[in-house]
Structure 1
Amino acid sequence: MINERIADSDKTDAQPGFLSRRSFLVGSAASIGALGLAGCTSFGGGPSMTVAEAERVYGPVPHERFPIPAVNVSKLNPKYFRRTVRYDTKEVAGTIIVDPRNYYVYRIEGDGNATRYGANVGRDGFRWSGDAYVGRKAEWPVWTPPKEMIARQPEAAKYAGGMAPGLDNPLGARTLYLYQNGAYTLYTLYSTRMPETIGKGVSSGCIGLLTQDMLDLYSRTPVNTKVVVLKA
């Protein structure tokens, strides 16, 4: 999976009660494209936003540490545009619910509403489900490929010491790290600037949101927020 360079990333054996499968994104944008992708304020209610509205919501973010370009919304199915929807659940406001079958992430807002984001999810053989929580957060994190990934894709070895933050870093601008029982699971919610991946199974278990959506979710998600990943 993709993970920041910390002691947790050195763990190699699943621990009882943890999400059973390790995961990592096996790619990123342009500069490491050779590796490939194997591995807010809520917007409106009712009908999905128009393309013109989407171009504004997914426009450039110039004042970030690394200025974020606009999303090419022509590459994004409109059903994955961010929107407010009705969502009945017993989970408390603030809870994040991942629906990998339908490629959505929900932030529960209360009163039967949720902010819904389009997402990419784990590909076949790397999907998982269960409850976790946000153990920590990071802005523009370092990415270090796990040794399992390097074994499968030797070309990733050049990043064994960590890939510096930036637009081409697979973790992107923001990352929410998922924990269980006080330990990092090696699963994350991360940001991607590749709209063509939304609505697809492309990773080894991590959940990706468009950078503009992840900025929104990240800003409203404190550490210890509950995360529920539904069965695919």
Structure 2
Amino acid sequence: MAPSVEPSPSDTGLSFAVHNPEGFETILLIHGGFSSRKDWDLVVPLLTAKDYHLLVPDLPSHGESVAIQPFNVELAAELLLPLIKTHAYNGKAHIVGMSLGAHVAASLAALGGPEHISSVFALGFNTFLPRRVVAAFFPPFIYTLQRTVGLVTALVTEWTRLRKGEGTLALCEDAVRTLSDGRTLKGIHVRSLVIAATRETWLPKDKIESAQQLFRAVVGGRENGNRVV
């Protein structure tokens, strides 16, 4: 297995781990909401086996970066860009973002541009348009749901998260604001954008419309040789 470096704070205070530091191409893995970089534990060995250099951070208000508050997509992107500039091979990285992390990936691509972002892979990028009355109930509903599931399925782990201040109601409120259709996506300057989205069924699935919204944010599109998949 490729060598790993213990988690450490970046110059901006964001906690992150490095895997296979001798690799010659960097991938930045951005986890989803209410979790941590541990989401990628099963993926890391597969990528390091291909000799990729990995940067795996904890987002603000998550994991070991829980003290960096409040959470918002723009702040997360601003903290991740220096991580790429300083620690990525040649100051450039492929970005993989999952769920809430996919929104961060889109913002980071807009901020960093092709100089620092090689490509973007967005998994489960979704936006929603709740009515104002319903939206007021979303944060406490999400908070109660994720706490209940955590306490039932992994009592010790969830109790530890609770004591550390992870998964708070305030974070749920920040996440709902992020996942609102009212948020305007900034123009993304990137050569390759890949979005993984499941088809909608009677169960809540990824919204194809959200993927299309992200595609439209790519500046230049196919006419400039960009690839969107």
User: What band does the TM-score fall into relative to the shorter chain?
Assistant: under 0.3
Richer in strand (by share): 1
Q: TM-score, normalised by structure 1?
A: 0.26
Q: TM-score, normalised by structure 2?
A: 0.26
Richer in helix (by share): 2
Find the structure with the greater CA-based Rg: 2
